[in-house]
Structure 1
Amino acid sequence: MIAIGSDHGGYVLKQEIIKYLESKNIEYKDVGCYSEESCDYAQFGKSVAKLVADGTCEKGIVICGTGIGISIAANKVKGIRAALCHDCFSAQATREHNDANILAMGARVIGPGLALKIVETFLGTEFSNEERHIRRIAQIEDN
């Protein structure tokens, strides 16, 4: 299952991604927001992150205007590796090398067509499981 959340700036793109997930029969949990009414991104980034961190959801997608604030909020949750991606190469590389478990995007940075390709790439790419990447992730998670 995929956890998905956005603030008002990412709401319209989130709805497009939900349509994509539904078309691919991918289960998701939408944690909000539920309109374009102004709201704060941190609560939605953290809500998605908590669902991924506790194992309720396998991966997450978070969206705000730039993707920056919501990714910072998600990364505050232990065990989360949220990656801000605005191209398919970054989405593939962060899954292969960093085992990123949350994709962050900025709705004011990219359009829906590219965003859906990035989602497809992120969800379809497996972690490489190479020793060097495992070692580096352990260093990231070492508090």
Structure 2
Amino acid sequence: MLSARIPLSSLRISCSAAFSSAAEFHDPIKDQAEALVARKPSEAKKGRVQSWRAPVYTAPHQHVFEQSPDFSFKDGRTVHVTSRKQLDYKLDQIRLAKKIVALLKETENVETIYKREQEARKSKEAEEIGRRPMAKGNKNID
């Protein structure tokens, strides 16, 4: 058996020559372990906001030009939608208006039903009071 001995000093030189800086060296095991970990970048938030929970409600920010065009006609003609965002905004407003009208109609129906039920209850109570026998002896004779 022939064994060739390599001096350690030459090994150190060859390793340092292969990787001139630490940034070039990538540990495959560490990279594989890091790939298995699901990390989400956390947003730096100011104030008393919890960054680990989703907010309950965030108000949509609509730019003025997204709501309506940035021009108008002098003669009073209607300005048509000029972008997809404006069209989506208009359709969303129409959908919301229809929903509001439907819900208001439902509440009006519920209110009329409630009034009818209250009147029926009052008339039923008056009828029950009328059917009860009158108490005798509690009236003064004048």
Which structure has the greater CA radius of gyration?
2
Confirm or deny a common fold (TM above 0.5): no
| Structure ranking higher in strand proportion | 1
TM class, shorter-length? under 0.3
TM-score, with length taken from structure 1: 0.17
Higher relative contact order (Cα pairs below 8 Å, separated by 6+ residues)? 1
TM-score, with length taken from structure 2: 0.18
